[in-house]
Amino acid sequence: MDRDTLFLLPPGFIANERREYCPECAELWGVLNYYPFIKEALIVRYETIEHPRAGLTELLGDGEWNCPTIVLAAGADPGPVARTERRNGYRFIDNARDIGRYFSHRFGTAFPRGG
Is residue 71 a contact partner of residue 45, using CB atoms and an 8 Å limit?
no
Q: Give the mean pLDDT of 82-92.
A: 94
Q: Are 70 and 47 in contact (CB under 8 A)?
A: no
Q: Is 28 helix (H, G, I), strand (E, B) or coil?
A: helix
Give me the pLDDT at residue 115, please: 60
pLDDT beyond 80 at 36: yes
63 versus 90: which is more confidently predicted?
90
Percent pLDDT > 90 in the chain is 88
The residues spanned by each domain of the chain are 5-107
What's the CA dihedral at 65, 51, 54, 19 to 10 degrees?
A: -100
Report the predicted TM-score, pTM, of the whole model to 2 decimal places. Answer: 0.94
Look up residue 111 and give its DSSP letter.
Answer: P
Mean pLDDT of 20-42: 97
Rounded Cα gap, residues 105 and 7, in angstroms: 19
